């Protein structure tokens, strides 16, 4: 096939590890930054013409990229698509806005409802896809609408009811990109909201490792009665996984459900470690853990993994 003519800003063979918090994985066949809704729509249209699959990276804080790379076009939202704007009790932002920054802006403005986002190191778009949550806060409770750019070139506005939120999932289809979102919050005392954020940060610091290369929780907390209410981290710990290593990947010594890249971990190392942790938990408790981390590209998860 003759080489493609690339639109301005589209880069071939672009390494993706640096866009992930675990710092692993290969390159995107094509990579581009989308600074506006128009640019995003144009990139989606080019991908459609060229029959390329479209992927999106947010902060890469829940992402495992295939070592052999990702076919198609991978997009990162920036500039206008990462802005945060206040409008009375409402906050409108780009899908690339960082959730802790949105939480801090809300606190500054004396608005309550997004405090739970302070410790979630992802973007608004990633949070919508993952139905991110912490400390009992809930995205759906404050989310008004999202604007989604679809692979066939539509721009849809969707309400939380239309997003099919369930535990760590939404019904966004592959290639659908959250370009914008709006939240409606409750007025509150700014000092009180800020104090809540500080308390949440302190609580998180005590419970989870910081300053490591990780994608946060590896497995979802199971609802299997055999888990007897234990979290994925508690099960992994009881099955002897804390500190377990494969290549450059290790289950954190501080939190057994966090995989840490101790140096040069490949995605294959991480998947092998996850598979061993999952095997041990199944053998010991009969509980089958389900991965929370999302794959970009052909990550070789074992065939029986429900994801
Ligand atoms: C230290 C640490 C702590 C964490 N704590 C929490 C926590 O308390 N609660 C929690 O829920 N999660 C937590 N996470 C996981 C992670 O931060 C969330 O899942 C977050 O919502 C992912 O957002 P992201 O922008 O990083 O998405 P990415 O990791 O970049 O991508 C995740 C998925 O979302 C898709 N995506 C990204 N942007 C968009 C977009 N604009 N439109 C459509 N799809 C998109 C990607 O294609 C991929 O499928 C933690 C992670 C870390 C590293």
**Mean pLDDT across 34-60:** 96
Minimum-distance ligand 1 atom for the alpha carbon of 61: 26
Distance 273 CA to ligand 1 centre (A): 21
Residue ranges of domains in the chain, CATH in brackets? 11-79 (3.30.43.10), 83-207 (3.30.465.10), 225-296 (3.90.78.10)
| Model confidence at 261: pLDDT above 80 | yes
299 close to ligand 1 (CB < 6 Angstrom) = no
Minimum-distance ligand 1 atom for the alpha carbon of 56: 47
292 is catalytic: yes
CB neighbours of 218 closer than 8 A, spacing ≥ 6? Answer: 232, 251, 257, 258, 259, 274, 277, 291, 292, 293
Tens of pLDDT, residue by residue over 263-292, are 999 999 999 999 999 999 999 999 999 999
62 close to ligand 1 (CB < 6 Angstrom) = yes
139 close to ligand 1 (CB < 6 Angstrom) = no
69 close to ligand 1 (CB < 6 Angstrom) = no
Distance 295 CA to ligand 1 centre (A): 11
Q: Residue with the nearest Cα to atom 45 of ligand 1?
A: 126
Q: Going by DSSP bridges, is the β-strand pair 259-261/249-251 parallel, antiparallel, or unpaired?
A: antiparallel
* CA distances to 77, 80, 199, 247 from 57, in Å: 8, 16, 29, 25
Distance 169 CA to ligand 1 centre (A): 11
Q: How many Cα atoms sit within 13 Å of 213 on the Cβ side?
A: 20
pLDDT interval class at 2 (50, 70, 90):
low
What's phi and psi for 93, nearest 5 deg? -150, 165
Tell which residue, 129, 74, 126, 70, has the closest CA to residue 299.
70
H-only helix segments in the chain: 37-49, 99-108, 124-130, 139-142, 190-207, 232-238, 267-285
20 close to ligand 1 (CB < 6 Angstrom) = no
| Model confidence at 137: pLDDT above 90 | no
Which tokens in the block code for residue 282?
């199944």
Alpha-carbon distance of 296 to 229, in angstroms, equals 31
Alpha-carbon distance of 218 to 232, in angstroms, equals 9
Q: Is 35 within 8 Å of 43 (Cβ atoms)?
A: no
Distance 100 CA to ligand 1 centre (A): 12
Which tokens in the block code for residue 225?
């009665």
Q: Could you tell me which residue, 203 or 304, shows the higher pLDDT?
A: 203
168 is catalytic: yes
Alpha-carbon distance of 292 to 254, in angstroms, equals 19
Tens of pLDDT, residue by residue over 154-208, are 999 999 999 999 999 999 999 999 999 999 999 999 999 999 999 999 999 998 8
Which tokens in the block code for residue 4?
């493609």
């Amino acid at each position: 096939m003759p080489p493609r003519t690339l639109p301005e800003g589209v880069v071939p063979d672009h390494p993706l590890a640096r866009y992930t918090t675990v710092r692993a994985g290969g390159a995107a066949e094509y990579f581009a930054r989308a600074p506006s809704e128009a640019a995003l729509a144009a990139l989606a249209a080019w991908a459609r013409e060229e029959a390329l699959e479209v992927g999106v990276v947010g902060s890469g804080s829940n992402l495992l990229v295939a070592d052999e790379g990702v076919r198609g076009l991978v997009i990162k939202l920036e500039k206008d698509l990462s802005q945060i704007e206040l409008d009375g009790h409402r906050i409108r932002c780009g899908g690339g806005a960082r959730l802790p920054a949105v939480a801090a802006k809300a606190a500054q403005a004396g608005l309550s409802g997004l405090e739970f986002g302070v410790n979630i190191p992802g973007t608004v778009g990633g949070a919508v896809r993952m139905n991110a949550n912490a400390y009992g806060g809930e995205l759906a409770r404050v989310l008004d609408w999202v604007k989604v750019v679809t692979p066939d070139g539509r721009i849809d506005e969707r309400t939380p009811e239309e997003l099919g939120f369930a535990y760590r999932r939404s019904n966004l289809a592959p290639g659908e990109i959250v370009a914008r979102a709006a939240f409606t919050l409750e007025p509150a005392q700014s000092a009180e909201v800020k104090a809540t954020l500080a308390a949440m940060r302190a609580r998180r610091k005590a419970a989870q490792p910081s300053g490591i290369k990780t994608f946060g929780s590896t497995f979802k907390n199971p609802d299997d009665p055999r888990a007897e209410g234990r979290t994925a981290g508690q099960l992994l710990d009881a099955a002897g996984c804390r500190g377990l290593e494969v290549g450059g990947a290790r289950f954190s010594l501080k939190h057994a459900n966090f995989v840490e890249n101790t140096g040069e971990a490949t995605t294959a190392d991480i998947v092998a470690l996850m598979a061993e942790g999952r095997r041990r938990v199944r053998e010991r408790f009969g509980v089958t853990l389900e991965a929370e981390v999302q794959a970009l590209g052909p990550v070789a998860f074992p065939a029986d993994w429900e994801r």
